[in-house]
Amino acid sequence: MTGATIWLTGLPSAGKTTIAYELADRLRAEGRRVEVLDGDEIREFLSAGLGFSREDRHTNVQRIGFVAELLASHGVHVLVPVIAPYADSREAVRKRHQREGTPYVEVHVATPVEVCSVRDVKGLYAKQAAGEISGLTGVDDPYEEPETPDLRIESQNQTVPESAAAVHALLTERGLL
């Protein structure tokens, strides 16, 4: 069975994790092996001690990319809802997958910052606005949008099941399901 890494990148509160878990449920119902590498869990367990400097964010993304490729190369569909704000970091993960011959799909959850700040599931935008935190991706820290993602989802214009179905359709089209 062929695995693949499906990387969902986007701003905080864009809907990456919600879409990933919806898709994971669908794939599991089809009998597929699935893992979700949630960015918050990775930071707690695999990347504890890393901060949010450009270098630390790059290291975090590379660690996640390594684990994702390893799992995908063993037949797991790995869903990675992680901001990964820098294009060069995401490209390095893509190249690792290409070198290993492991399928990789990049999905840009292209939710506008105005929508994300209203959703604000973790309260990050409110904390940034209050001056309690800085370095919030897409507000006072850069987010380099993917120029040519395999799929772009505007989550503000469709339901979570519709977004997950769009990713599922892409995977089917690419022969990854």
**Tell me: the pLDDT tens digits for 122-143?**
888 988 989 898 888 988 889 9
Phi, psi for 149 (deg, rounded to 5): -65, 160
The DSSP code for 157 is G
Cite the DSSP H helix spans in 83-131. 87-100, 113-119, 124-129
- pLDDT at position 122, please? 87
- pLDDT at position 40, please? 84
- pLDDT at position 108, please? 98
Residues in the chain where the model's pLDDT stays below 70: none
Write out the H or E segment, with its range, that includes residue 38.
none
Task: Report pTM.
Answer: 0.94
For 11, other C-beta atoms within 10 Å of its C-beta total 26
Q: Tell me the binding residues.
A: 10-17
- pLDDT at position 23, please? 98
- pLDDT at position 127, please? 87
Tens digits of residue pLDDT in 93-118 = 999 999 999 999 999 999 999 999 99
- pLDDT at position 64, please? 96
- pLDDT at position 138, please? 84
The three-state secondary structure class of 151 is strand
Q: Tell me the binding residues for ATP.
A: 10-17
- pLDDT at position 123, please? 87
Residue 2, phi-psi category: left (phi > 0), alpha (psi -120 to 50), beta (remainder): beta
